Amino acid sequence: MLWLGLLNASSGHAASSDLCAEGWKQFSSVEKSAISENIKRLEQAAKSGNLDALTAQATMKLCGFVYEKNEREGIEVLHRLASLGLTSAQFVLHDAYAEGIGVEKNDAEALKWLRLAAKSGNSDAQAVLGMRYANDQGVDKDLGEAKRWLSMAAVRGNEYAKHGLVMLDIENRVPLTRQAAENGEPEAQEALARMYETGVTGALDKDESQALKWRRKAAEGGFTESQRQLGDLYREMPGHKAESLKWYRLAATQGEFECQMKLGGLLQYTDPLESHKWYLKAAERGEVTALYAVARQLSEGPVELRNEAEAFKWYRRLAQLNYRYVAAGLSVLYMNDTKRKPIPGLSCAGDHRQKARYTGA
C-alpha cells in the first residue's frame, strides 16, 4: 500500500484485498513512534508539493488513517493527481472504484484507471491487471496477456506478480499432466495427485478423493514415491497396518531406502527376522542410521538375531565413520567380553571397567 510504504511499513498488493481493511492490517503492525515520525516527514513533503506524499495523504483521508475520514476530499484529490498522470493515484482509484470506497462501485471505471497506471509502468497495477486476465475478472480470460503484464511487474521486483507467474505456469501444466496421467505415466499420475491435493487456482479444484485415486494408479504402476506416500497415509489410519506394509514392501523391494528403514522399524517386534532383512538392505547404501540399526539388532535384539562377533564388525564400520552412538553400543559388547582390546581415539563412557576405547577383537 502506498501510504504504508511511505511510513516504512511492508508493501505489496493482492488483487482481492480490500483497500482500507488491508491497509489497517498493515498499519497496525507499525510502531507508533515510527508512524508519528514518518507522518511529520509526509506532511513536510506534501507541503512542498510532493505528489506521492499528496497521494498518500488523500488515501489516508479516504480510509480514515491518522487523519479524520473524509471520502469526498480524498477522492477529489486522487482524481486531480490521477489526471496529472500520477500512477500511484490512478492505482488507488482503481481500488476505490473496484470496492466502492468513496464512490459508487464501478468496475469499468476501476479498469480504466488500472490500465492507465499499468501502461505507465506501475508494477502493482501491472500485477493486478495480469491477474485479472488470468482469472477472468472484468476482462476476457487471456493467459497470454496475463503473462505479459505479470512479467513486466515481476521484472520490477513485484512479489505478487512473481507468485502469479508461478501459478500460471502450474495452471498451464495441468492439461498436459492430465493427458500424460491418462496415458498411464506413473510420474504424471503422482504429479496430478499432488495438484488435486492443493488445488490449482483457475484450473483444478482441491479434491482429496481424486488425489488418492491418481496416487494409487501411480503406485500400482510401480512409482516408488507414490508407494511410499500411500504407506505413510495408511500408517496413520487405525486398522490399516497391513495396507501400509504392503505399499512399503513394494517400494522397499525396488530399493527405496526410506521404506526399507520404515519396515525395519515397524516390524522389529512383530517380525524381527523380516525387520533385520530390511535393515540389511538399507545398510547396503552405507547410511550410518541403517548400519547402526543392524548393529543394535545383532547386539541387543531378539535371541534369534544376536551375534556379538557380527555386531562388533558393524560397530567397527561405524567407528570408522565417526558415528556418535557407536561407543554406547560397543560398551554393551565389552561388558560381555572383557578380552576386547581398546581402539585408539574412540572413547566409551559407558564402559565403567576400562573407561576406554576400542578397535576390535
Do 273 and 244 meet the contact criterion of CB atoms below 8 Å apart? no
Spatial separation of the C-alpha atoms in residues 167 and 178, rounded to whole Å: 17
Q: What is the pLDDT of residue 215?
A: 96
Amino acid 32: pLDDT: 52
What is the model's pLDDT at position 350? 38
Residue 10's SS3 state is: coil
Domain range list for the chain: 2-120, 122-183
pLDDT in tens, 130-182: 999 988 889 998 888 998 999 898 888 888 888 888 777 777 778 888 998 99
343 within 8 A of 360, measured Cβ to Cβ? yes
Does domain 2-120 fall under CATH 1.25.40? My reply is: yes
In degrees rounded to 5, what are phi and psi of residue 321?
-95, 5
| 361/109: higher pLDDT | 109
pLDDT digits (tens, 9 = 90+) for 32-59: 555 667 778 888 888 888 888 888 888 8
pLDDT of residue 19: 61
Residue with cell 576400542: 358
Instruction: Calculate mean pLDDT across residues 110-129.
Output: 93
- Is residue 361 over pLDDT 60? no
